[in-house]
Amino acid sequence: MNPKNNLKLILISITFFGFFLSGTVSWFLHEAKMNELYLDYRKEVGEYRETIYTDAALRLEVLYALSILYHEDSTTDFKRMDAEVEKLLKRHKEIHALAWVPLIPQSERMDFVSRQQQAFPEFEILKENTQKSLVKVETRNTYFPIYHISPLKENRNLFGLNLSSNSIIVKTLEKAMKSGQAQATDSITFFQHNKEKKGFYIFLPVYTANSSTVEERVRNFKGFVTGIYTYDEVF
């Protein structure tokens, strides 16, 4: 074989081997780097997950603490609820407001509104119309109005709002009532002082007696202790 051809063959072989070796080394380095990034990612996700879990648990603890006021057949006035909420909000700045949302059948609507009007003459069960204005709600079989809300001054626009008039919220209400577990809504738009805010509700169901089945929960259901959160305050 021609020596020149042999030299060319050797050079080509060396070149290909060099490319192969370079590619192999690059691949191993890439895999090592990706594995390092993956482990870092898993660590960060785990830490973030723990943070979210802890944060959610703390929010539920606040609702459970407040729900003691409404267990069984007890009644709670606005002043007592307000005093308890004031103490809770001092320790939990991420909570925008706390509220009591009872189940009111149509047969009790008039008495319910009359009792509340003794302290708050302007009180009505309201809904939000298409123009984002609050109007008196039409006749329904049942209502889920925001009855107690604290702090009230900053949340007058939510006072008396019938949450079951909102198609997004009513599904969460029903799920919480039937499951016996706290449930959070999807993103909700709030209007305060003509400003739009995004946030969500968490509903913790309260019953007049221990209830282990769906039928018992529906029969013994009393209302929801409710946490109201806006994203700017949470994050």
Round to whole Å and give the CA distance between 227 and 98.
Answer: 5
Ordered per-residue pLDDT tens for the chain, 235 residues: 555 556 666 666 666 666 666 667 666 666 667 766 666 655 554 444 444 445 555 678 889 988 888 886 666 777 888 888 888 888 888 888 999 999 999 999 999 999 999 989 999 999 988 877 889 999 999 999 999 999 988 888 889 999 999 888 999 999 999 999 999 998 888 766 567 778 889 999 999 888 889 999 999 999 999 999 887 766 6
Give the pTM.
0.73
Cα distance between residue 128 and residue 186, in whole Å: 18
Q: Where are the beta strands (DSSP E) in 103-170?
A: 104-105, 126-128, 134-136, 142-143, 148-150
pLDDT value of position 50: 47
Q: Does residue 151 have a cis bond before it (omega within 30 degrees)?
A: yes
| 197 DSSP β-pair partners | 190
Return the closest-CA partner of residue 89 out of 81, 101, 77.
Answer: 81
pLDDT the model gives residue 123: 93
Q: What is the pLDDT of residue 134?
A: 85
pLDDT value of residue 60:
83
d(CA 225, CA 235): 22
Peptide bond into 145 cis (omega under 30): no
What integer pLDDT is reported at residue 46 of this predicted model? Answer: 47
